Amino acid sequence: MENENQTPMEPNQEQNAPTGVQEENNIPQSQKQTEMPLEKAAEPSVETAPLKPKRRWLQYTIFSFLALVIAGAGYLGYTNPQLFKAQIEPTGVVPSGQARLYIPEYNSSPQDIGKIAIKIKDLAAIDGSEELVSMQFKLSYSPIDALSFNENSIVFEPNDPVHPTLFSSADLKGINTNTPGEVIVSFFSNDGVTVDEGNNDDTLFKLAVEVDGASGSDIDLSVDDVEVVQRSGAIYDVSDLFTGVDTLPMHLITQSDLRVLNAEALDSTHVLVRFSDLLSDIGTGDDYTIGGDAGTLKVTVAESGFLNGYDQSTVMLTTTPQVPGSLYGLSVDAVEGNVEGNLSGEYIGAIFYGYDDTVSSVTLQSAETLSSTLVVLHFSGALAEDTVTPVNVKIKYDSAGVLA
């Protein structure tokens, strides 16, 4: 159990005091006394008491360090795809057991980070009201490596606009993860919460969790050893109403919403492919197939566009030399988006023209599929309005979405 209100002592706090403070504390007492005026001096204004040089240097150092930390966090958030993962989402399904507490059903994906709620199910039979001050239970999950908890997993969010918690804080709380596949949750709050019939379906508190399971599988959850303490005046006893927590499995769904937006030849051996989501897995060169009237292009290297000055929703392909102005069709496989998951079968392809630096007129660079009936064409320059007609556009494709 940990005391949430206790402020831990920093190690070597006295020894590691800032330089300016040490210098003041090291002044002999006799010198301090001789420097003290006999009468109370007027307090200097901000203008007449500038920071000492060393203190000013220390302040600037702290500000610079904080700026670096913030910038570094932003950089890591941009370069680490897992920081953009989707949240665990409730399905709205409530378990059908007889317990008065429950954990609702959730959908998730591997590496998702989110919160699961411990909620009140039915208080229709309650007489009067009960003030709850403490709760402890053991949550078991299978597979035993499917979920991850830490010391900050007990979460109180009384101001959450969608799912606020009844508990706002805890004086003591603890998470025990010593046994694989189990987590023991316990907390005590002197600011108890009163529950009655009006609290049906409210959330007591939440558990922050990271999902480590495999797509397409379920994580089985069960709760045992439930002990809820209630208070009446100065008397504490174990509740005989809140004795269990009903659960449902967490479903790890396989999302397939990622789309190839377009492809563009940047030069005679490089093609930039844009996707509808930041990518957590760009695949390899073998996952990109390029063919057309002028023959097949071999993809020798596939790397994140981020390494070449683009964002993480792009992939840079190195290809064998393209035929200038030739029409190519691209097909993509085994690429994964951070939120949108796997590629949608309807949006796996794009077309582009071989790079041609000798053409001075406007050329079609790529085509972007927005829906099953909308395609956006990207040209190298402005078009005359009277040339943009359905008669001037033809689309050829086979059943797999690859250029025919």
3 state DSSP class of 22: helix
Q: Is the pLDDT of residue 399 over 70?
A: no
Extract the tokens encoding 236: 């504490």
359 pLDDT band (50/70/90 cuts)?
low
393's CB contacts (< 8 A; 6+ apart) are 377
What one-character-per-residue DSSP string does 123-146 give?
-TT--S-EEEEEEEEEEEEESTTS
By DSSP bridging, strand 172-176 and strand 113-120 are: unpaired
Q: Which residue has the higher pLDDT, 95 or 84?
A: 95
What are the structural domains of the chain?
89-252 (2.60.40.680), 260-392 (2.60.40.1220)
373 pLDDT band (50/70/90 cuts)?
confident
Q: Is the pLDDT of residue 397 over 50?
A: yes
Tell me the chain's radius of gyration from C-alpha atoms.
31
- Residue 55: the pLDDT is 52
167: left (phi over 0), alpha (psi -120 to 50) or beta: beta
What one-character-per-residue DSSP string does 139-194 give?
EEEESTTSEE--TT-EE--TT-SSS-BS----SEEEEE--STTEEEEEEEEEEEEE
- Residue 396: the pLDDT is 63
Q: Is the pLDDT of residue 282 over 90?
A: yes
User: Mean pLDDT across the stretch 177-195?
Assistant: 95
User: Mean pLDDT across the stretch 364-371?
Assistant: 66
Could you give the CA distance from residue 355 to residue 268 in angstroms, rounded to a whole number? 5
pLDDT tens digits for range 22-57: 444 444 444 444 444 444 444 444 444 444 555 554
Q: Is the dihedral of CA 384, 386, 388, 391 positive or negative?
A: negative
Q: H-helix or E-strand containing 223?
A: strand 218-232
Distances (CA, A) of 168 to 101, 148, 403: 18, 24, 58
pLDDT tens digits for range 92-148: 899 999 999 999 999 887 778 899 999 998 877 666 667 999 999 999 999 999 999
User: Mean pLDDT across the stretch 175-197?
Assistant: 94
Which residue type does 207 have?
L
pLDDT tens digits for range 285-309: 999 999 998 999 999 999 999 999 9
- Residue 181: the pLDDT is 96
**Cis ω before 143 (30° cut-off from 0):** yes
Q: Is the Cβ–Cβ distance between 301 and 288 less than 8 Å?
A: no
- Residue 329: the pLDDT is 93
- Residue 29: the pLDDT is 47
Least trusted range by pLDDT, from 42-56, 161-175, 286-300, 364-378: 42-56
The predicted model scores a pTM of 0.52
